[in-house]
Structure 1
Amino acid sequence: MVHSQQRSITILMLPWLAHGHISPFLELAKKLTSKRNFHIFICSTPVNLTSIKPKLSPKYSHCIEFVELHLPHEELPELPPHYHTTNGLPPHLMSSLKRAFDMSSKNFSTILTTLKPDLLIYDFLQPWAPSLASLQNIPSVEFITTNSALTSFCVHHLKNPSAKFPFPSIYIRDYEAQKLNNLLESSSNGIKDRDRIQQCSDLSSDIILVKTSREIEAKYVDYLSGLMGKKIVPVGPLVQEPMDLKVDEETWIMK
């Protein structure tokens, strides 16, 4: 009997340039490849990939690959390659990093053309990524790396700033609300972060992935779904596997 080999489904992931975003994307990649016949490419800047590579154990090396995204630096001399990450980035350069990320869209389009993935999974600040994927008939899904309680609170504030959040156990003081508003109003390339966030959720294909579980955050998951007009798919807490435990799986017996 001849068994036909099933083609791997390829997924390209593009997280925001922060470790708190790249790490959940990597853990999601591990989870997906352990359950399905997926081949996943994680795209980020060289400085970020250098720090994340040690977190990938050899058992995933055949199904998870890293792809370098080069940000322009000659046009932005204040942002050399070692600053192409939020890790250690001086706060006054955050706007420049967002601008450089936007300016890398042409390079990212080339990556899309070269890899021709079946799906793009992207983060919350780069609406140009799903737009470019759509031009190549590649479906896109947003992945939110914060929990549903925090995300629903922020989206509620974004959409209904004068209305009270329906779950009173979560609240912020007036000065904290001002700080949140300042963050949402911050802009680069003439685009406010609040607009980037909205566009990213609008461009997601029917569903949005969130790092949470219904067992813990069901009411926030449902409220977030209503706010965004999309089905929210919890992907679990995505806890990193310990790298220092070397267990021979063939001889490990659970009784």
Structure 2
Amino acid sequence: MESMPKPSMESDDKLHIVMLPWLAFGHMIPFLELSKLIAQKGHTVSFVSTPRNIDRLPKMPPNLAPLINLVTLQLPQVEKLPKNAESTTDLPYDKVKYLKMAYDQLQQPMTQLLADMAPDWVIYDFAPYWLGPVAAKLGISRVCFSIFIAASLCFAGPIPVLKGEDDRTTPEDFTVTPKWIPFKSNIACFRLFEVKRIFDDVASVDEENIPGTYRFGAGIEACDVLAVRSSYEFEPEWLKLLQQIHQKPIIPIGLLPTTAYDSSDNGEAWTEIKEWLDKQSKRSVVYVAFGSEAKPNQAELTEIALGLELSEFPFFWVLRNRRGVADTEVIELPNGFEERTKERGVVCTSWAPQLKILSHDSVGGFLSHAGLSSVVEAIQFKKPLILLSSLADTGLIARLLEERRMAYLIPREEQDGSFTRGSVADSLRLVIVEDEGRIYREKVKEMSGLLVDDAVQDKYVNNFLDYLKKHKQ
């Protein structure tokens, strides 16, 4: 374990904050973005993760590096967890529970780290349900930080429900609005195929699996403040309801649009991609990416590929065909697809600079899994969204965006979530070029200034830090 002594503060209003995200890049990156925004205000952050994850994080801008300490804790080995698997991106979905088991064994070294550092605050994710009581005993103030939107947290319910007192026991129970949501909304329930994919982590308990809902419940119960990656401009009614449900301070911290990193290490990859994008017409390219965790099954992959082919749009597809070496279900593109589309499409199976791609003028639409970070990046660069939701709360996010007319959802079959190549092609045409889809192109531009503007984000971070300064123990 690498630990750092508590930094000396020039004045009492400078904070030292420890960050502990879950071992998923969809969690680590928002935690890192928040760390950067906090450091920009002159506070010190100790960002804790495992060695391999720390090595894979984007490089810090030189002006912030002295204020963000990257602290490593060695991940314990547990049976059934593949070697060198330190994040969810290294694992098929059914093995993530073993990563959680290893993560839980970080309790003792994390306790020692907090005791040595004695920070003003610790900001933790949903997964370390054990951290709140540990920090409380050490006299450290506690923030539970949700990278999930307020609507998702409202749907999950109050603490007793999260911790197991839930009368929802079948997948079908999660397809209706829960009793604690007092207004009608199509966001307030899962579609059947969505909940089937995550039901084991929502409702089942065994010796190998402490559900994510229980973890969240314990984390919220033990915190002083619940911070949410959201804003009043994005979901005001849900933030208000979340306050009523939990009866404790709820602080939105903005949508955390991705800010600049030191990108000197990926210049060559970007040069090649940019050359290809530069050759395409303005707003003609479909950018396709499903994040670090979502992986379509073989049937879905086939329909996405053939839908792209049918649409006749140029496309740039970042394809993850397996989740780590332990993933035995390798998905494959249809026979002949790459040969038939080589003149107008690129399939990239390695890392690609998503921010830079989305910022390019030739990109006319983003086919995505509705992960919040990807959604925020699309809004940043005013790219209309075509969505195929996947795991976790992406279905709820997708319907919130649909309700706001900021995204179009590809039609899917209710039971199994299947869709056709024709619906993929039709959805792309609608959003990118057709008059009927103009609303999606215009709405994302309109909302960009409200949701991801630097001044708006700064307001939320200042409000959050003012609270932390006033209420530290």
The normalised TM-score by structure 2 is 0.47
Cα deviation for residue 53 of structure 1 reads 4.1
Q: Compute the displacement of 1:175 (Å).
A: 4.1
Q: Structure 2: 5+ residue runs without aligned partners? A: 1-8, 265-473
| 2:181 paired with 1:168 | no
Q: Is the CA contact 1:186–1:193 (under 8 Å) kept in the aligned structure 2?
A: no
CA contact (8 A) 1:27 1:240 kept: yes
Q: In structure 2, what is the Cα distance between the partners aligned to 1:180 and 1:81? A: 25
Contact kept in structure 1, 2:229 and 2:255, CA below 8 Å: yes
Instruction: Report the 3-state secondary structure (helix = DSSP H, G, I; strand = E; otherwise coil) of the residue aligned with 1:132.
Output: helix
Moved more, 26-35 or 120-129: 26-35
Partner deviation per Cα, 1:85-133 (whole Å, 9 max, x = no partner): 1112122321111111111111111111221111100001211111211
2:98 corresponds in structure 1 to 96
Distance 1:65 1:81, change over 3 A: farther
Query: Equivalents in 2 of 1:81, 1:15: separation in Å?
Result: 21
What is the match of residue 249 of structure 1?
A: none
Shift of 1:194: 2.4
1:47–1:81 contact (8 Å) kept in structure 2: no
- Where do 1:4-43 residues align within 5 Å? 5-7=10-12, 8-35=14-41, 37-43=42-48
Q: Contact (CA 8 Å) 1:184, 1:193: kept in 2 or not?
A: yes
TM-fit CA distance, 1:81? 5.3
Aligned letter for 2:102?
A
Counterparts in 2 of 1:116-135, with a 5 A limit?
Answer: 116-135=118-137
Deviation at 1:226, TM superposition (A): 1.5
- The residue aligned with 2:233 is 215
Structure whose alpha-carbon radius of gyration is higher: 2
How big is the shift at 1:20? 0.4
TM-score by length of 1: 0.83
Cα–Cα, structure 1 residues 48 and 179, in superposed 2: closer, same or farther, change >3 Å?
same
In structure 1, what is the Cα distance between the partners aligned to 2:251 and 2:89? 29
Q: Could you say what the CA RMSD is over the residues aligned between the two structures, in angstroms?
A: 2.5
Alpha-carbon distance between aligned partners in 1 of 2:263 and 2:211, rounded to the nearest angstrom: 44
Write the distance in 1 (CA, Å) between the matches of 2:114 and 2:202. 29
Unaligned runs of 5+ in 1: 247-255
CA gap of 1:60–1:195, structure 2 versus 1, over 3 A, is same
Aligned pairs for 1:27-176 within 5 A? 27-35=33-41, 37-54=42-59, 56-73=60-77, 76-79=78-81, 82-155=84-157, 158=162, 161=168, 163=178, 165=181, 166-170=183-187, 171-176=189-194
Is the CA contact (8 Å cut-off) linking 1:44 and 1:67 kept in structure 2? yes
Question: Which residue type is aligned with residue 196 of structure 1?
Answer: R
Residue 80 to residue 149, structure 1, CA distance change in 2 (3 Å) = same
**Residue identity in the other structure for 1:155:** G
Residues 40, 160 of structure 1: CA spacing in aligned structure 2 closer, same or farther, 3 A cutoff? farther
Amino acid of the structure 1 residue aligned with 2:202: L
Structure 1, 63-72 or 12-21: larger mean CA deviation? 63-72
Higher RCO (C-alpha 8 Å, min separation 6): 1
Percent identity, aligned pairs only? 29
Aligned residues: 238
Letter in 2 for 1:21: H
